[in-house]
């Protein structure tokens, strides 16, 4: 299904299909068909009626605009859906319509349909996270020795390696991905409680039907219906928010490194990708832009969902009705970010020479900390600090390398050999534990394949 134009920057084709009108309708119909089969299994609904209901529960045969109009009037999609389903079932078996939706309530249909949509969404998210995982691990390994400027408060700082930076992105998305999978797994529960969440209409057979329904849908049956308890879904959207935030951090880093002033990395290009309508020379960070848009959009959506958790008694009024578009938007934003960053990592161009040149352009100022550690034991901390402040000012005003400025200072020259000062500007000699940290991040838990 084509993505709606207004949502074209907010989802992916795969997730747009999951949350398309026909897919949402089919999820609700799947609930109704599974309910009829479950009740037939325990002897409540005649098998012929269950067969007729299952046969009729095909979304392609329904008038979706009509159901949508009815939803606006009824306050829930379940009411016009059940009415339309009964009409279709009647054409197959005149006695079967009475058994449609037997013992269920509207929220049972809608909530379980949402869970089924989440179940379809997770493998899509995991697939892109696996792509990202593999690409970042490769980048980190290839660039374990590629030195670059560290940057703190947007200013040049002592060097790091691009391998460590990529490993940092990788570690975050692995942690977030595992939390996301756990939250999804906890949410994979059927909703079936009837009018007040007691299944009173089914008498002593309620639990038997509920468990059979869960089996039919390949979901778990929880301890009890959860009509006004939204904590499982809240965990899903919050984990999506954390993951999207981590992907946004990666996108922010890459987009800044793509600036012409840095020019250390570049997104993959291609036909229609990254150009400008007025400036042909530009190579814009489009995937980063999509990811950052998702990361900026999701916190507000999540806040709205959390606000809607405060629901009244056994069925919320207004808050429950707000959830569908919120959850759909959060899931699709997360998918957009994951897909965009996977594409970026897979085709990222890294300019190692430019990274080293940018280090050299600082004329050694980023090694002032290293110089301090060298001079403080010889001159005293306060004296060394005052000398380095003066040397840094002279390096900037005279456009001279810091090591040369220090070598010309009598206080320094009398205490430190010139060959030692020359070693100040070698970035590989001031990386500390960068490689140990990189390896530790890569040894972290990899995102396992999502089982069907």
Instruction: Please say if 4 is a catalytic residue.
Output: no
3-state SS track over the chain: CCCCHHHCCCCCHHHHHHCCHHHHHHHHHHHHHHHHHHHHHCCCCCHHHHHHHHHHCCHHHCCHHHHHHHHHHHCCCHHHHHHHHHHHHHCCCCCHHHHCCCCCCHHHHHHHHHHHHHHHHHHHHHHHHHHHHHHHHHHHHHCCCCEEEEEECCEEEEEEEHHHHHHHHHHHHHHHHHHHHHHHHHHCECCCCCCCCCCHHHHHHHHHHHHHHHHHHCCECCCCCCCCCCHHHHHHHHHHHHHHHHHHHHHHHHHHHCCCCCCCEECCCCCCCCCCCCCCCCCCCHHHHHHHHHHHHHHHHHHHHHHCCCCCCCCCCCCHHHHHHHHHHHHHHHHHHHHHHHHHHHHCEECHHHHHHHHHCCCCHHHHHHHHHHHHHHHCHHHHHHHHHHHHHHHHHHCCCHHHHHHCCHHHHCCCCHHHHHHHHCHHHHCCCHHHHHHHHHCCCCCCCCCC
Among 120, 220, 315, 354, which one carries the catalytic annotation?
A: 315
Rounded CA gap, 421 and 424, in Å?
5
Among 68, 94, 182, 276, which one carries the catalytic annotation?
A: 276
Instruction: Please say if 276 is a catalytic residue.
Output: yes
Nearest to 342 by CA among 113, 169, 114: 169
Please list the active-site residues.
276, 315
């Amino acid at each position: 299904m084509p993505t709606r134009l207004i949502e074209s920057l907010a989802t992916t084709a795969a997730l747009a299909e999951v949350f398309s009108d026909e897919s949402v309708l089919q999820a609700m119909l799947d609930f109704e068909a599974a309910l009829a089969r479950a009740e037939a299994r325990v002897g409540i609904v005649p098998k012929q009626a269950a067969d007729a209901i299952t046969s009729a529960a095909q979304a392609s045969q329904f008038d979706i605009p009509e159901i949508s109009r009815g939803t606006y009037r009824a306050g829930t999609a379940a009411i016009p859906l059940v009415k339309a389903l009964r009409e279709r079932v009647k054409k197959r078996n005149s006695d079967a319509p009475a058994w449609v939706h037997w013992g269920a309530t509207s929220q049972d249909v809608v909530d379980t349909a949402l869970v089924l949509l989440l179940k379809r969404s997770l493998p899509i998210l995991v697939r892109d996270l696996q792509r990202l995982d593999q690409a970042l691990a490769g980048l980190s390994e290839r660039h374990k020795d590629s030195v670059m400027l560290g940057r703190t408060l947007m200013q040049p700082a002592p060097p790091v390696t691009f391998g460590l930076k990529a490993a940092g992105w990788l570690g975050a998305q692995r942690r977030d991905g595992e939390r996301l999978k756990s939250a999804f797994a906890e949410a994979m529960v059927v909703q079936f409680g009837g009018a007040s969440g007691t299944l009173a209409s089914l008498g002593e057979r309620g639990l038997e039907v509920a468990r059979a329904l869960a089996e039919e849908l390949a979901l778990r049956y929880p301890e009890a219906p959860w009509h006004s308890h939204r904590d499982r879904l809240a965990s899903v959207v919050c984990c999506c928010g954390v993951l999207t935030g981590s992907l946004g951090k990666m996108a922010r880093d890459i987009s800044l490194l793509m600036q012409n002033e840095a020019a250390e990395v570049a997104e993959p290009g291609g036909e229609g990708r990254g150009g400008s309508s007025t400036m042909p020379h530009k190579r814009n960070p489009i995937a980063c832009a999509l990811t950052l848009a998702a990361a900026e959009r999701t916190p507000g959506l999540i806040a709205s969902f959390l606000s809607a958790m405060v629901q009244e008694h056994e069925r919320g009024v207004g808050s429950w009705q707000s959830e569908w578009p919120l959850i759909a938007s959060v899931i699709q934003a997360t998918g957009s970010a994951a897909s965009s960053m996977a594409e970026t990592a897979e085709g990222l161009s890294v300019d190692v020479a430019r990274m080293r040149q940018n280090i050299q352009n600082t004329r050694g100022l980023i090694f002032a900390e290293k110089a301090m550690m060298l001079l403080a034991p010889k001159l005293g901390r306060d004296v060394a600090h005052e000398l380095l402040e003066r040397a840094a000012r002279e390096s900037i005003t005279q456009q001279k390398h810091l090591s040369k400025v220090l070598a010309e200072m009598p206080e320094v020259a009398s205490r430190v050999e010139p060959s030692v000062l020359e070693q100040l500007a070698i970035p590989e000699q001031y990386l500390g534990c960068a490689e140990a940290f990189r390896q530790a991040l890569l040894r972290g838990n990899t995102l396992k394949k999502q089982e069907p």
